Amino acid sequence: MAKKILVIDDDPVIVKYLVNLFEDNGYATCTASSSMEGLDVVKKEKPDLITLDLQMPKEWGPRFYRKLRKDKELKDTPVIVITGIDGDHAVKDAVAYLAKPFDPDKLLGIVKRTIG
């Protein structure tokens, strides 16, 4: 069974790009367009990895990240931050932090090292 990646980003162009990139490389995907939606999706889908944008409307990515880390079942899910803002913004133990625009080969390398 393919490993599953949850893409959380409010930009539909970025979401489509990441979904295509991951699916073209053998991963299953699910998506959320906000961090609030992301919490529901992560609980339902139980992804193997999450890509997280930090700057989104309503609730920022760091708040999602803190909630994720407090959940006993989900706290060990690896997170790769992909964002257009500088700094780590309270996402200290993310697997990686990539600035937009990012190198897709670098991202895939991180994903492969993290979940296979």
Residue 73, pLDDT score: 92
- The residue behind tokens 């989900």 is 74
- Domain spans of the chain, in order of start: 4-115
Q: By the 8 A CB rule, do 4 and 116 touch?
A: no
Q: What is the DSSP string of 66-102?
A: HHHHH-TTTTT--EEEEESSSS-TT-TT-SEEEESS-
Q: How far apart are CA 4 and CA 112, in angstroms?
A: 12
Retrieve residue 37's tokens. 């939606």
For the stretch 64-79, pLDDT in tens is 888 888 999 999 999 9
Residue 91, pLDDT score: 72
Residue 71, pLDDT score: 92
Q: If we measure between CA atoms, which residue out of 79, 75, 81 comes closest to residue 55? A: 81
* Average pLDDT, integer, range 105-111: 98
Residue 66, pLDDT score: 87
Retrieve residue 78's tokens. 């690896």
Q: What is the CATH number of domain 4-115?
A: 3.40.50.2300
For the stretch 5-64, pLDDT in tens is 999 999 999 999 999 999 999 999 999 998 889 999 999 999 999 999 988 777 777 788
Q: By the 8 A CB rule, do 58 and 75 touch?
A: no
Residue 19, pLDDT score: 98
Number of helices (H), then strands (E), belonging to the chain: the values are 4, 5
Task: Flag whether pLDDT at 88 surpasses 60.
Answer: no
